[in-house]
Amino acid sequence: MSVYEHEVYEYEVYEYEVKALLSEAGVPVPRGVVVDDLDFGPAGELAEPLVLKAFGPGLVHKSDAGAVVLGLRAADLPAAAAEMRSRLPDLAGFLVEEQAAAGVELIVGVVRDSAFGPVLLAGLGGVWTEALRDTALRLCPVSERDARRMLASLRGAPLLYGHRGTPPVDVDAVVKLLMAVGGPGGLWERLELGEFELNPVIAAPAGVMAVDARYLPAEPSRLPSEPSDLLVESSDLSAEPPDRAAYPASAGFLPLFEPKAVAVVGASATRPNFGNMFLDFYKAAGIPLVAVHPEADQVAGVRAVPSLAHADVDYALVAVPAERCPEVVRQAAGVPFVQVMSGGFGEAGRAELEGELVAAAQAAGTRLLGPNCMGVYCPRGRQTFVGGGMGPPGSVALISQSGGLAGEVIKVGERRGLAFSRVVTVGNAADVTPAELLRWLAHDPETAAVGLYLEDPRDGRELFEALRAADLPVVLLVGGRSGQGQEAAASHTGGMVSDRRIWETVAEQTGAALVSGQDDLIGVLAFFQAHGSRVTDGDGVLVVGPSGGASVLAADAFDLAGVRLDPLPGDALDDLRGLRVAASGNPLEVPVGPLGRAGLVPEVIDAIMRRRPYRDVVAHVNVQAFFTYGDAAEPLYAYARALAGAQDALPRTRVTLVTRNGECAPPGVEDEVRRIAAAAGIPVYRTMEAAAVAVAAGGRCGTA
């Protein structure tokens, strides 16, 4: 179809030009012609009714400018055009096209997120766009399954699938259009996109048609910069290519976590500073240690050498003023990993200095962790950046862009029973990135689940790919999500893609669990630590506990977390009557307290699971009830032991315990309950909300 032949404009891409491109890419567009005022003859080929649209510089929202008229006959065109021309003296020409039959109006767009790159948007379009903001996102390229799920996730989905007697639209044709735009080899790859928007696409029972198209090429000023590239270029050092062969890929990041020996650069022989603090941590951890000091031959009782060149270590921690870091790192040839603790680089507006540091690391053939980063914690490798001793080695890993948060998650997590395989803070991530670390950890035999705390992924695409490739549970906590990622641009697509939605999309597409706070990060990791290796074969969640408001609120908490509580199987009700349990719903209300039989809950669980295996069983208990008439810790422990027995008897079900109102127990009681539960692999939460978030996150993993 070559009806869109017209002069190509230099600065703007007009609707008819975009439609020519669409048509070529297999996206159906209305048949149309481009005409000037004098000759509407070519429009005679088109079937009425016709649509007249003006185009010209700056004419973006045509309806607002009165530059669209629907329902015309060919004979009406000259007068309608003359009328438009009288109001819009700058217009450059007219597009006349066939009017598509009515249908459901959709919006389809692509926008370039500054961190993650091209993102496809689909939703209810036309006049509904702004009012309903009912849209779904996916990072490109999307799969056909993604495209179908996007449509199904819309609140307005019933309009597509047939609603109150209206026939369904051609959903397959909509999916095909989404693929042509955002699928492999789709338009998103070919356009130097700023933004691209089809609004509306009219979806009808017999096909789809993109009746409006807008394309805003990326302006250089709005393109995402590649900080690392800029940094290397702006450095005045002629950097050698990195000598990655110095440490074989098979070893990968192992020396980072389990170095044979560590050097600390920057500890003072006279005035204790940050470097000395790390020296103390390492001394306490008992790892072979050397200090680097220009003059002293001992620092705080540790042997000192004059430079890294003299240190036979595989990990060096650098805590000297920022300006001196590049020079120190340049001496690190032969040291596979150098952590720069010092701040004062990119995060302080000194991108050039950071570039110099990266170049120095590359020249030395060393990998750089940081700068502006606390370092690594790995009990197995006696690697640490926290005081107060190390916890037991375990299977939970954490990658954090914040050192402070990592320290809190370690300390609080260990208090709650987490045991870490490896924790790494990345600071500015000038060289070693979260994505690289995630890829390595995903294959680390010591690691069963990974938590990620991120603020600004420098390598969003890389991270997305790493998340998608990771074949283990990943929990994602993102700071700063509330800020609007994209400035509202000329298109709706741009205005509807916020950071929060992008991260939700990333989680949805990669299967990572996105949580909204530090407690939930710890809580979900605890769930995976306890249950990660369990293969479950049921589905759904059963909640069991005392009756009353707590039980009602439990249902609400799970609902909020996106978990449906399936009703009990009918034939289990008779069995329950045999146990003299009258209640029949889910949450199931069973007497639990100091005077009740500890074994009742396990018997109830057993009776139900015989009829219908649930994937998760959440037992809750009101701790306060045990301490109303004195000290009833023993009945509470008996209950916990009985529940532990239930978990042992149900290896293919995940049992979770909620100890509500735990603050009413005397000191130590909750810890003992936790210990009994942990021994059976049961995670314990203090609130139903926390348990619901963890169970919801676990919902995606571990099913056979």
Interface residue list for ligand ADP (CB under 6 A)? 30, 51, 53, 61-63, 68, 70, 97, 99-100, 105, 126, 200, 211-212
Could you tell me the smallest distance in angstroms from the CB atom of residue 209 to ligand ADP? 7
Residues 490, 532 contacting (CB under 8 angstroms): no
Q: Pull the structure tokens for residue 226.
A: 């590649």
| Rounded distance between C-alpha atoms, residue 366 and residue 299, angstroms | 25
The mark string for 170-209 relative to Mg ion (x by CB under 5 A, - otherwise) is -----------------------------x----------
516 binds, among ligand ADP, Mg ion, none (CB under 5 to 8 A by kind): none
Decide whether 199 or 400 has the Cβ nearer to Mg ion: 199
Q: Taking Cα atoms as reference points, which of 594, 598, 600, 573 lies closest to residue 584?
A: 573
Residue 480: CB atoms within 10 Å:
11
Could you tell me the smallest distance in angstroms from the CB atom of residue 47 to ligand ADP? 11
What one-letter code names the amino acid at 560?
A: L
Burial class (CB in 10 A: 0-12, 13-18, 19+), 442: middle
Strand order in the sheet with 93-98: 32-35, 93-98, 50-55, 68-72
258 binds Mg ion (CB under 5 A): no
Q: Pull the structure tokens for residue 280.
A: 């103390």
Decide whether 23 or 199 has the Cβ nearer to Mg ion: 199
Decide whether 212 or 603 has the Cβ nearer to Mg ion: 212
Q: Pull the structure tokens for residue 464.
A: 């997305």
- What backbone torsions phi and psi does residue 435 show, to the nearest 5 degrees? -65, -45
17, 97, 170, 212: which one binds Mg ion (CB under 5 A):
212
51 binds, among Mg ion, ligand ADP, none (CB under 5 to 8 A by kind): ligand ADP
| Rounded distance between C-alpha atoms, residue 385 and residue 408, angstroms | 12
User: Minimal CB distance to Mg ion: which residue?
Assistant: 212
Decide whether 177 or 650 has the Cβ nearer to ligand ADP: 177
Decide whether 97 or 414 has the Cβ nearer to ligand ADP: 97
Could you tell me the smallest distance in angstroms from the CB atom of residue 493 to ligand ADP? 13
- Write the DSSP string, 60-97: -STTTTT-EEEEE-GGGHHHHHHHHHHH-TT--EEEEE
Could you tell me the smallest distance in angstroms from the CB atom of residue 46 to ligand ADP? 10
Could you tell me the smallest distance in angstroms from the CB atom of residue 33 to Mg ion? 19
Decide whether 62 or 138 has the Cβ nearer to ligand ADP: 62
Q: Tokens 């050698």 appear where?
A: 240
* DSSP strand pairing (449-454 vs 393-400): parallel
| Rounded distance between C-alpha atoms, residue 521 and residue 273, angstroms | 32
Could you tell me the smallest distance in angstroms from the CB atom of residue 411 to Mg ion? 54
Decide whether 212 or 616 has the Cβ nearer to Mg ion: 212
Decide whether 212 or 508 has the Cβ nearer to Mg ion: 212
* DSSP strand pairing (393-400 vs 420-425): parallel
Q: Tokens 């049961």 appear where?
A: 682
| Rounded distance between C-alpha atoms, residue 608 and residue 575, angstroms | 8
30 binds, among Mg ion, ligand ADP, none (CB under 5 to 8 A by kind): ligand ADP
Could you tell me the smallest distance in angstroms from the CB atom of residue 511 to ligand ADP? 36
* DSSP strand pairing (393-400 vs 376-377): unpaired
135 binds, among Mg ion, ligand ADP, none (CB under 5 to 8 A by kind): none
Count the residues of the shown chain that bind Mg ion, applying the rule CB under 5 A. 2
533 binds, among Mg ion, ligand ADP, none (CB under 5 to 8 A by kind): none
610 binds, among ligand ADP, Mg ion, none (CB under 5 to 8 A by kind): none
Could you tell me the smallest distance in angstroms from the CB atom of residue 121 to Mg ion? 14
Q: Tokens 């080695």 appear where?
A: 393
Decide whether 45 or 327 has the Cβ nearer to ligand ADP: 45
61 binds, among ligand ADP, Mg ion, none (CB under 5 to 8 A by kind): ligand ADP
197 binds, among ligand ADP, Mg ion, none (CB under 5 to 8 A by kind): none
Residues 326, 356 contacting (CB under 8 angstroms): yes
What one-letter code names the amino acid at 93?
A: G
**434: part of which helix (H) or strand (E)?**
helix 434-442
Could you tell me the smallest distance in angstroms from the CB atom of residue 48 to ligand ADP? 12
561 binds, among ligand ADP, Mg ion, none (CB under 5 to 8 A by kind): none
Q: Taking Cα atoms as reference points, which of 629, 630, 619, 628 lies closest to residue 673?
A: 619
Residues 311, 332 contacting (CB under 8 angstroms): no
Please count the helices (runs of H) and the strands (runs of E) in the chain. 24, 28
Could you tell me the smallest distance in angstroms from the CB atom of residue 7 to ligand ADP? 21
Q: Is 639 helix (H, G, I), strand (E, B) or coil?
A: helix
100 binds, among Mg ion, ligand ADP, none (CB under 5 to 8 A by kind): ligand ADP
Decide whether 68 or 412 has the Cβ nearer to ligand ADP: 68
97 binds, among Mg ion, ligand ADP, none (CB under 5 to 8 A by kind): ligand ADP
| Cis ω for the linkage preceding 141 (within 30 of 0) | yes
Decide whether 197 or 258 has the Cβ nearer to ligand ADP: 197
Could you tell me the smallest distance in angstroms from the CB atom of residue 212 to ligand ADP? 3
Residue 73: CB atoms within 10 Å:
10
Residue 89: CB atoms within 10 Å:
7
501 binds, among ligand ADP, Mg ion, none (CB under 5 to 8 A by kind): none
- What backbone torsions phi and psi does residue 243 show, to the nearest 5 degrees? -95, 75
Could you tell me the smallest distance in angstroms from the CB atom of residue 527 to ligand ADP? 47
Could you tell me the smallest distance in angstroms from the CB atom of residue 135 to ligand ADP? 16
Could you tell me the smallest distance in angstroms from the CB atom of residue 59 to ligand ADP? 8
Decide whether 53 or 293 has the Cβ nearer to ligand ADP: 53
| Rounded distance between C-alpha atoms, residue 578 and residue 597, angstroms | 15
Could you tell me the smallest distance in angstroms from the CB atom of residue 315 to ligand ADP? 59
Burial class (CB in 10 A: 0-12, 13-18, 19+), 81: buried
Decide whether 47 or 251 has the Cβ nearer to ligand ADP: 47
Decide whether 46 or 193 has the Cβ nearer to ligand ADP: 46
Decide whether 199 or 586 has the Cβ nearer to Mg ion: 199
| Rounded distance between C-alpha atoms, residue 690 and residue 89, angstroms | 62
Contact range with Mg ion by CB under 5 A, out of 33-41, 210-218, 512-520, 557-565: 210-218
490 binds, among Mg ion, ligand ADP, none (CB under 5 to 8 A by kind): none
Binding region for Mg ion (CB under 5 A):
199, 212
